Amino acid sequence: MPRVIECIDSTRAGLDEACAGIARLGFDPADEEQLANAALWLRRLANDPDFLGDLLIAELARRHREEVLESAYGPQVVMLAPSNGNFFIRANIWPSANEHMVRASGGASFVYDLPHDHNFSFLTVGYFGPGYWSDYYEYDYDEVAGASGEAVSSLRFIERSRLEPGKLMLYRAHRDVHAQHPADSLSVSLNVMHTSGAQGWLDQYRFDLDQQRIGAIVSPGPSEAFLRIAVGLGGAEALDLAHRFARQHPSDRLRLACWDALASVAADSVARDALWREAESAGSRLVTLEARARRAAILA
């Protein structure tokens, strides 16, 4: 489960002060000094019970006329501080099951009951309300290729617990898995999110807990969408690029996207089967597993 961090400090810090305090060392969760420093400043920020409400009222008063793109992160998330080196700060809103927004939109809109890991590490602290519940699991990321339906024998249940007010934890990339459940009443958490240039190429998974399998990759990148569109438009250069990337790109996920794009423009089922048969021996474990599944579906 996420690493619980004991950090006792009663000092209050404003948002700007907390950002500057974290930026002084940066935020690399693998570095214990940087981790401890970021946890300290997140604790101090969470000690201020008024800053978030004051910030939201100020934003409403000016009707979001400034910095719209920097503030936009989704209906559940408030961006508090944009990327600063290798971190940014956000607030997450966790409604209860009785809230109108949950009854109207469903729990999936708030990532409830969706077992998943993360392709980044982040610090979180309970800020307001009783906090959301989670069923926590761990698994061995290196064990899996990431194919849909792939067995994850290392996936193991740890505990169910709640992000209570003041509780501070580190969610570890590619290790901690959780299925979140609604808070008993409206709650808010604060996060310090780690960022890196490699993050866009690292996979995040949804899990089927009953079957102990990977349900799907939930972190598609924009390059995959661009490539599919280009191949679908039928340009010779796009087709050539897709063929080269399918065999040589360092990202297995993008290689699979290339094979999928090429299969989508294949003339018929015979041509698609031949393409996926070629993909099976293209040198990627992920692509091999997915290619076998695609061929089985074609031949069924």
3-state DSSP assignment of residue 97: coil
Which residue type sits at 281? S
Whether the CB-CB separation of 42 and 80 falls below 8 Å is answered with no
How many other CB atoms are found less than 10 A from the CB of residue 106? Answer: 11
The answer to whether domain 3-217 has CATH 3.40.605.10 is no
What sign does the dihedral 77-79-80-82 (CA atoms) show?
positive
DSSP β-bridge partners for residue 189: 92, 126
Q: At CA 24, angle to CA 5 and CA 174, rounded to 5? A: 45
In this prediction, residue 105 carries a pLDDT of 84
pLDDT at res. 131: 96
Is residue 142 classed exposed, middle or buried when 0-12, 13-18 and 19+ CB atoms within 10 A define those classes?
exposed
Q: What is the pLDDT of residue 61?
A: 82
Radius of gyration, CA atoms only, the chain: 22
Distances, alpha carbon 270 to alpha carbons 47, 93, 275, 277, in Å:
64, 50, 9, 11
Parse the chain into domains and list their residue ranges. Answer: 3-217, 222-299
**Structure confidence at residue 261 (pLDDT):** 94
Residue 276 to residue 96: CA distance in whole angstroms:
46
Alpha helices in 24-142 (DSSP H): 32-46, 51-61, 68-71, 100-105
Chunk the chain into consecutive blocks of 10 residues (it has 300) and report each block's average pLDDT, rounded to whole numbers.
94 96 96 97 97 88 58 71 92 93 86 94 97 97 94 97 97 97 96 88 92 90 86 91 93 93 94 95 93 91
What number of CA atoms fall less than 13 Å from residue 23's CA on the CB side? 13
Pick from 34, 30, 39: which is nearest to 8 by CA?
Answer: 39
pLDDT confidence of residue 72: 44
- pLDDT value of position 69: 41
**Sheet of strand 156-162, all strands in order from the earlier edge strand to the far edge:** 156-162, 133-138, 176-181
What pTM was estimated for this model as a whole?
0.87
Specify the pLDDT at position 65. 55
Task: Write down the pLDDT at residue 30.
Answer: 95
